[in-house]
Structure 1
C-alpha cells in the first residue's frame, strides 16, 4: 500500500473532497429513521417502531439472520409509487452531500413482489426519484434488482421475470443477497439474466466462506463480488480474483454490525489491498448500521490506509462501475487532482 501522509487535521477535508461512486448500497436499507417513521404513520403499519428511540433499538442486530429479519420487516412501509420516489430522492440527496457522483443501488425487488406490489410500481417510483435527483443534485443512479437467495430458485426466477418485463434502461445488473446459501442452484437464472444483457453482481463470501465466491465467479459469471471478505481465507482464490481483476465491493461497518467480523481492527481491507485485489468501498445499509460512505473512508483511514490508498479505493470504484469510459476518465482525473493537492 502507498500510505501518503496527510495531517490528521486535513484527512477529513480530503475524504470530503474526493469524488466518489458507491457500488454496494441498498435502496431500502438506506431509509433514514425519519422517512421510515413517516411511512409507518402514513400507512399505519402495525408492529413497527413508532419513535426514533424505538428505531435505534430495532436496529441493534444480534447477528446476520436477525438483520435480515429486520430488513424484511422494514420494507413493509413501502407501499406505493410515491413512497419509492420519496425514498429514492432522499437517498440520492444524502449521497450527493457526500460528493458521491454516481451510485448503483440494489433494490430488494422480490421483497416487494411477495407483498403484492408490482414491479411496475417499484420502478415507476424509483425512476421518478432518480430523475429528480439528477436534476437537483447532478448525481446519477443506476439499479441492481435482487432477490434473497434463501427464498430459493423460484424467487430468483420471479424477480428476473419482473425485471425483464418492467425494468427500465437504468437497470444495469442482477443480484442475489439474503442469508448466504449455495449459489450453484441459481446458474440458470444468471445465464438468462446475462443473456438479456444484465451484469452478474451477486453477494458472496460475506460469511459463507470462500467457496461461495468461487461459485459466484465460476457458476454465476460474477463481474463484481458483493462483500467477498471470506476470499482472504483461500490464497488461490485471492490470486484468481487479482489476476482476473474482479472487483470486490467491501463494506467494513456492515461486516462488524452483522457480526461477520468481531472487531473492526480485524477487517481484512488493508490485506486485500496489499494482495492486489481491486477493492471498492461501500456503506451497504448505512442508517441501519450507523454509517455512511464518508464514515467508511474514515474507517479505512483508521485501519491504516493513507491518502493514496483512499484515492485508490475511490479510483477502483470508478473503474468497477458501469459509467461510460469518458465519464470514468473525467472522474478519475478529478480524484487524481484531489490527491495531488493533498
Structure 2
C-alpha cells in the first residue's frame, strides 16, 4: 500500500495573478498584426543567412557601422552574395520569415535595381525569385504583400525608365510588384523622375520615394506620390507637417535607422519626430529600413518607441494599425477585419487570442489612441 503523502501538483494556484505590464508590452510589440512597408532586402540579411565562417568576431564585424559611405559599401557587399536565383529565393524567405516572426502580416519589400544586379543576375531573374518566395511564404504563413521596386536616384531617370520596363514585364508574368520607389544617393531631384512615376501610375503601380530633405517632401506632394519614406526633416516644421497631413499622404519612418546614421540630428530617441508627426495628424507608421544592419527588428522598434514616448497598449496598437492602413492592400480585403479583431484581443491580453471573439464585451476604441 502506498502511504506517501499526496502532493499538490497544481502549481498554478498560488502563482495566479496579472503579469508585469512591461513584460506584456514586450509581448504585445512582438505579436501585434502590422505591415512592414519600409525594409530593404539586402539590408535585412542576417548572419544566420550570410554566414561568414567560424571566426565569430570577424563575421560579426560585417554588420559594424562606421559612416554612411561604408554603410553602402557593406550594403552592396551583401547584395553581391545574391548570385543565383536560388540564393535570392532563399534570402527573401529568410527576410520574410524574420518579419513574420516579429508580428508582420503584410510586407512590402524594397528591391533596388542596382543592388539586384550587383551579383550579376538579370533583373527579371531576380524579381521572379523574390516573387516565388512571397508565394511560398503566403502558403506557409498567410503573409500578404509584394515588391516595391526602387529605382536608384543617383543613376538618373533614363536608367529608371529602363528598369520600369522590366518591372512591368515581371508584373505581367505574375510577379507581385506592388509599386515603385526611389532611393539611393539623393544627387538628383525627385522631379527629374516625374515621367517614370507617371508611367508607373498609369500602369496601375503605386508610388513612393525616400525624402531625405524638406524639398524632397515638397516634391513628393507635387508629384502626387502615394507615400513618403523617412521624411525626418518634417520635425520642427509645422508648416510642412500640416501640408502632409492635409494631403493624407502616409509617411513610413524608421527609428533605429536614423539614430544610428544621424546621431547629430537625433542624439536621443525622443528627439526623433515620430510622435511629433502623430500629434500633428500625419499618417505616420513605424518600420525597420535595414534591420540587420541596424541590429533591430520590427518588435524591437515598437518596444523602443513605446518606451520612448510612454505608449500604452492602445496607442501601440494604433501605431500598428496605421501601418496596415498605409499598406498597398485592398481596403475590402477580409484579412483587415481579422487583424482588427486579433488586435483587439491582444490589447486585452497580449498572451492569448481567444477562440471565440464574440464572447467578449464591447471593444475599446483603440484605433484612435
Show the counterpart of 2:106.
Answer: 102
Does the alignment pair 1:197 with 2:180? no
For residue 329 of structure 1, the aligned residue among 325, 337, 345 is 337
| 1:199 shift after superposition | 0.6
User: Which residue of 1 is the match for residue 86 of structure 2?
Assistant: 82
CA distance in structure 2 between the partners assigned to 1:201 and 1:76 by the alignment: 25
- 1:176 matched to 2:182? The reply is yes
Residue 18, structure 1, aligned to residue 39, structure 2: no
Mapped partners of 1:264, 1:295: distance in 2:
13
Contact 1:25/1:104 (8 A) holds in 2 = yes
> What residue is the counterpart of 1:217 in the other structure?
221
Range moving further from structure 2, 75-84 or 320-329: 320-329
For residues 47-86 of structure 1, the aligned pairs below 5 Å read: 51-86=55-90
1:39-68 deviation line (CA, Å, top 9, x unaligned): xx8xxxxxxxx8542343232223333322
- Residues 61 and 32 (structure 1 numbering): CA distance in 2 closer, same or farther, change over 3 Å? same
2:258 counterpart residue number: 255
Runs (4 or more) in structure 1 with deviation over 6 Å come to none
Query: Could you tell me how far apart the structure 2 residues matched to 1:51 and 1:213 are?
Result: 44
Q: Match of 1:309?
A: 315
Q: Compared with structure 1, are the counterparts of its residues 9 and 165 closer, same or farther at alpha carbon in structure 2 (3 Å cutoff)?
A: closer
Considering only aligned residues, what root-mean-square deviation do their CA atoms show, in Å? 2.1
Larger Cα-atom Rg: 2
Whether the 8 Å contact between 2:148 and 2:178 is mirrored in structure 1 is yes
Q: Tell me the SS of whatever aligns to 2:90.
A: helix
**Deviation string for 1:69-99 (max 9, x for gaps)?**
2212220000111011101111122122122
Aligned residues: 323
**Larger RCO, structures 1/2 (Cα 8 Å, 6+ apart):** 1
**What CA distance in whole angstroms lies between the structure 2 residues aligned with 1:141 and 1:323?**
8
2:364 is matched with: none
Deviation track 1:152-188 (CA, whole Å, cap 9, x = no partner) reads: 2233122212102223341111011112332111111
Provide the C-alpha distance between the structure 2 equivalents of 1:179 and 1:218, rounded to a whole number of angstroms: 21
In 2, the alpha carbon distance for the partners of 1:51 and 1:158 equals 42
1:47 matched residue in structure 2: none
Relative to the length of structure 1, the TM-score reads 0.88
State the 1:295 CA deviation.
0.3
Structure 1 gaps of 5+ residues are: 1-5, 42-49
